[in-house]
Amino acid sequence: MAYDAIPQRDAPLSDAALSQLFTEARTRNGWTDRPVAPELLHRLYDLTKFGPTAVNMTPARFLFVTSPQAKARLVPLMSEGNQAKTAQAPVTVIIGQDIDFHDHLPALFPHAPGARDWFADEAGRREAAFRNSSLQGGYFLIAARALGLDVGPMSGFDAAAVKAEFFPEGNVEPNFIVNLGYGSDENLFPRSPRLSFDEAAKIL
């Protein structure tokens, strides 16, 4: 491959791409009935998995709820304001966090053979799993938008009930839930204000 055919890592994305990912993208509350192909869900995960996490622990677990039967199990566990849009969305994703992520470190972080032992304390693992699965959830949202999908992240659900219903075995707990598909303008709120740089940031 010629050098000039290799994308430059320091070249910014186009304004159109930044618009799709950030400035014009919206959190969707209404959904069209256009289906999302399973192959696209695989591609979405395969992009998300490359986002960095501490010691490559990758604790997020993604459960794609698509069938009417699975939706019927999930919708009653959502808060009242999230039930209708969850029922309407073609895909709802439960982003979980594996508290026992350290069991995979021998494979995921092989250049540090003792890495699993760094996380012997469950309380410490729980904190690391929450922080890094939240990071992965953010990567997931941006990857979805990059693939032309819309997202509607939610935290209003019965976490204990979702855990019991969808992760009854093992040590995976729900972090947050995302509706996914091709959004409509139904129930779309006006864009809310954001803090300015000076209100939220500082350069030292």
Question: For residues 44 and 143, is the Cβ–Cβ distance under 8 A?
Answer: yes
> What are the residues whose beta carbons fall under 8 Å from the beta carbon of 56, sequence distance 6 or more?
105, 108, 109
Read off the pLDDT of residues 63-79 as tens digits, 9 standing for 90 and up: 999 999 999 999 999 99
Read off the pLDDT of residues 118-131 as tens digits, 9 standing for 90 and up: 999 999 999 999 99
Q: How confident is the model over 115-119, as a mean pLDDT?
A: 97
Give the whole-angstrom CA distance, residue 144 versus residue 48.
9
Read off the pLDDT of residues 33-61 as tens digits, 9 standing for 90 and up: 999 999 999 999 999 999 999 999 999 99
Tell me what the pLDDT averaged over the chain comes to: 96
Which domains, and CATH codes, for the chain? Answer: 26-181 (3.40.109.10)
Residue 2 pLDDT: 53
